[in-house]
């Protein structure tokens, strides 16, 4: 296990010495700030209208704008989720493809390290990078809780905010796991990134497909869709089934990567 | 006991046979020069010996351990410099050597001493804190050699260790390798025949995947040349011409 930590440390140090991580951080913060400001403006306008006319006369689905958590943070988490879908492949693509291209894979494979330790080390490194990226977005609820006011108690319902945030972290972790596996299949980082995106996007939107399917297929497809799993958590509902789902996806990808690395010895 | 024992080693890539039934052994403390034209199968053989590639047929043993059955035991006893030095260009030489040393199980106090030892041996002491990306080819090659020497492995497999070095550096690496004789078992591949005559007693020449000569240099000279003074170059050309 110490070998895995050694590799994870090396991965992190490379992430933070190359521009990639900073480009990803900038994208994540830039895009989510843009939406944060837009959503905040929207929220303020609805609040003003409500003050002028009372909530009863506004459309009923505007009820979510009654508090900052549902009216601002939940939609913002959805945006961060989409941005993660776009940036995670750029973080995961180099994990194995770069080692193969630069022939450093030969060093890892001829060092006294087990393939599983290499995979776990790489995954932990990638996990560190995506957690750092997502970690930046906690600044938005923090700002809201400092400057926001509410008639009843605290401005934010932290349990909902943090559960949604936990969902985001799980989503990021799953993206990195899928990306790592695809990166282990190719020497080209661009192909790895593209494949990751091509797998994650339809997988996330699987729910749309479920609408046209019949039972019991419908429930199965629905369960397998990232989107349906994440929507529950974003709304603050913690379901053990979601945790099992994410843990299974991550574990499966780690095992598949281990097989792909081990296959080198048999090729 | 032979440190490296290769029996009937064959590697096929689909229809193409890269190496064909190699048999040889290297005794403890010996330095073997591994020669052959480009594409003869030198790198493939070395990759199989290090466990990076599997053999299609035959076996290879390092220090009595089969490379396929006991890869961890073999890797613990092996220092390997691949054809392309496996360097992380973004790292400094020191952090790179620290990383490799940790992978080889060196931790704590021993780490700094070991890095000081190999960087002294390979002459990279002055560039320890520079980023590898900014180093010349010669220095990169030497960092590659330094990495292989970490943890003082009993068996060293060096794929063209003097590639890209200037004459002075080559002489330095040569004397470094000569200094390893007796304590380490070394397989050294190279294009430069003078290199072999200066560092090795024994040579293995392969051509198109097959062994064409495996003997001590002085025996080869008497077997293939009219005079004792025949150069290894002439023997090499004669053997690989077919």
Q: What does the pLDDT look like over B136-147, one tens digit per residue?
A: 888 899 999 999
Contacting residues of A for B80, CB less than 8 Å apart:
106-107, 110
pLDDT, tens digit, 9 for 90 and up, residues B64-119: 999 999 999 999 999 999 988 999 999 999 999 999 999 999 988 899 999 999 99
Q: Do A110 and B75 touch (CB under 8 A)?
A: yes
Q: Is A187 on the interface with B (CB under 8 A)?
A: no
Ramachandran area for residue B37 (φ above 0: left; ψ -120 to 50: alpha; else beta)? beta
| Chain B interface, Cβ < 8 Å to A | 47, 50-54, 68, 71-72, 75-76, 78, 80, 82-84, 86-91, 95, 99-100, 102-105, 107, 147
Reading the block at residue A86, the tokens are 């776009």
Q: Do A110 and B78 touch (CB under 8 A)?
A: yes
Q: Do B89 and A111 touch (CB under 8 A)?
A: no
Contacting residues of B for A107, CB less than 8 Å apart:
80, 82, 86, 100, 147
Question: Cα separation of B144 and B81, whole Å?
Answer: 6
Q: Do A111 and B100 touch (CB under 8 A)?
A: yes
Contacting residues of B for A12, CB less than 8 Å apart:
none
Contacting residues of A for B100, CB less than 8 Å apart:
107, 111
Reading the block at residue A89, the tokens are 């492949």
Q: What is the pTM of this model?
A: 0.90
Task: Give the torsion sign (CA, A214, A220, A226, A227).
Answer: positive
Categorize the per-residue pLDDT at B224 as very low, low, confident or very high, splitting at 50, 70 and 90: low
pLDDT greater at residue B59 or residue B218: B59
Is there a cis peptide before residue A216, judged by omega within 30 degrees of 0? yes
Residue A113: closest CA among chain B residues belongs to which residue?
B103
- The minimum CA-CA distance between B114 and chain A, rounded to whole Å, is 17
Question: Cα separation of B216 and B204, whole Å?
Answer: 9
Q: Do B103 and A3 touch (CB under 8 A)?
A: yes
What one-character DSSP code corresponds to residue B82?
A: -
Residue B148: closest CA among chain A residues belongs to which residue?
A107
Is residue A203 within 8 Å of A171, Cβ to Cβ? no
Q: Do B84 and A3 touch (CB under 8 A)?
A: no
Using CA atoms, how far residue B216 sits from B7, B94, B204, B237, in Å, is: 20, 39, 9, 17
- A64-68, B17-21, B224-228 — which is least confidently predicted? B224-228
Question: Cα separation of B71 and B78, whole Å?
Answer: 10
Contacting residues of A for B75, CB less than 8 Å apart:
110-113
Q: Do A18 and B107 touch (CB under 8 A)?
A: no
Q: Is the pLDDT of residue B227 over 70?
A: no
Reading the block at residue A5, the tokens are 């930590």
Q: Do A266 and B72 touch (CB under 8 A)?
A: no
Q: Do B80 and A110 touch (CB under 8 A)?
A: yes
B210-216/B202-207 β-pairing: antiparallel
Is residue B93 within 8 Å of B128, Cβ to Cβ? yes
Is residue A117 within 8 Å of A4, Cβ to Cβ? yes
Q: Tens place of pLDDT for every residue, chain A, 267 residues?
A: 889 999 999 999 999 998 888 999 999 999 999 999 999 998 888 888 888 887 777 787 777 787 888 888 888 998 999 999 999 999 999 999 999 999 999 999 999 999 999 999 999 999 999 999 999 999 998 988 888 777 666 777 888 888 889 999 999 999 999 999 999 999 999 999 999 999 999 988 887 777 777 778 888 888 888 888 888 787 777 888 889 999 999 999 999 999 999 988 776
Q: How many CB pairs under 8 A join A and B?
A: 73
Q: Do B87 and A104 touch (CB under 8 A)?
A: yes
Q: Do A111 and B75 touch (CB under 8 A)?
A: yes
Three-state secondary structure call for residue B161: coil
Is residue B47 within 8 Å of B116, Cβ to Cβ? no
B202-207/B31-35 β-pairing: parallel
Candidates B103, B129, B131, B147: best to mutate against A (most CBs of A within 10 A) is B103
Per-residue pLDDT at A123: 97
| HSE toward the beta carbon, residue A255, CA cutoff 13 A | 6
Per-residue pLDDT at B230: 60
Give the mean model confidence (pLDDT) for residues B37-64: 91
| Mean pLDDT estimate for chain B | 88
Tell me what percent of the residues of chain B surpass a pLDDT of 90. 51
- The minimum CA-CA distance between A123 and chain B, rounded to whole Å, is 17
Please report the ipTM that was assigned to this predicted complex: 0.89
- The minimum CA-CA distance between B170 and chain A, rounded to whole Å, is 23
pLDDT greater at residue B9 or residue A231: B9
Question: Cα separation of A194 and B132, whole Å?
Answer: 29
What one-character DSSP code corresponds to residue A73?
A: I
Per-residue pLDDT at B229: 55
Q: Is the pLDDT of residue B56 over 80?
A: yes
pLDDT greater at residue B174 or residue B47: B47
Q: Do A110 and B99 touch (CB under 8 A)?
A: no
- The minimum CA-CA distance between B241 and chain A, rounded to whole Å, is 32
């Amino acid at each position: 296990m110490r070998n895995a930590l050694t590799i994870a440390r090396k991965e992190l140090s490379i992430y933070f010495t190359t521009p990639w991580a900073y480009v990803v951080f900038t994208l994540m913060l830039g895009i989510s700030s843009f939406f944060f400001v837009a959503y905040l403006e929207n929220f303020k306008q609805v609040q003003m209208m409500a003050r002028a006319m009372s909530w009863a006369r506004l459309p009923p689905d505007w009820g979510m704008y009654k508090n900052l958590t549902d009216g601002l943070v939940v939609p913002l988490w959805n945006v961060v989720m989409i941005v993660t879908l776009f940036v995670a492949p750029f973080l995961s693509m180099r994990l194995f493809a770069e080692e193969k291209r630069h022939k450093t894979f030969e060093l890892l494979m001829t060092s006294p390290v087990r393939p599983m330790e290499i995979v776990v080390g790489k995954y932990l490194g990638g996990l560190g990078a995506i957690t750092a990226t997502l970690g930046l977005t906690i600044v938005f609820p923090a700002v809201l809780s400092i400057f926001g006011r509410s008639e009843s108690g605290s401005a934010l319902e932290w349990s909902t905010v943090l559960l949604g945030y936990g969902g985001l972290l799980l989503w990021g972790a799953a993206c990195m796991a899928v990306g790592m596996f695809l990166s282990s299949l190719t020497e080209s980082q661009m192909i790895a990134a593209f494949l990751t995106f091509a797998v994650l996007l339809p997988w996330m939107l699987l729910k749309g497909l479920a609408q046209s399917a019949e039972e019991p297929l419908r429930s199965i497809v629905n369960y397998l869709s990232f989107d349906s799993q994440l929507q529950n958590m974003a709304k603050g509902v913690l379901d053990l089934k979601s945790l099992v789902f994410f843990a299974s996806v991550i574990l499966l990808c780690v095992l598949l990567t281990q097989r792909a690395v081990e296959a080198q010895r048999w090729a | 006991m032979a440190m490296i024992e290769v029996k009937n080693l064959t590697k096929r890539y689909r229809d193409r046979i890269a190496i064909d039934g190699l048999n040889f052994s290297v005794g403890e403390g010996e330095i073997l020069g591994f020669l052959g034209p480009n594409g003869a199968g030198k790198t493939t053989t070395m990759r199989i010996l290090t466990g990076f590639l599997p053999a299609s047929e035959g076996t290879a043993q390092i220090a009595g351990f089969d490379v396929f059955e006991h890869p961890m035991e073999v890797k613990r006893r092996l220092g390997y410099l691949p054809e392309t030095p496996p360097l992380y260009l973004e790292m400094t030489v020191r952090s790179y050597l620290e990383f490799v040393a940790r992978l080889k199980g060196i931790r704590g106090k021993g780490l700094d001493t070991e890095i000081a030892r190999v960087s002294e041996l390979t002459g990279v002491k002055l560039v320890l804190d520079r980023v590898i990306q900014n180093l010349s080819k010669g220095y990169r090659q030497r960092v590659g050699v330094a990495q292989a020497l970490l943890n003082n492995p009993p068996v060293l497999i060096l794929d063209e260790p003097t590639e890209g070095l200037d004459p002075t550096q080559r002489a330095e690496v040569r004397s470094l390798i000569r200094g390893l004789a007796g304590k380490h078992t070394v397989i050294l591949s190279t294009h430069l025949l003078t290199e072999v005559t200066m560092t090795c007693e024994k040579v293995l020449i392969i051509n198109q995947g097959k062994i064409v000569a495996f003997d001590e240099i002085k025996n080869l000279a008497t077997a293939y040349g009219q005079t004792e003074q025949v150069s290894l170059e002439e023997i090499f050309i004669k053997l690989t011409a077919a």
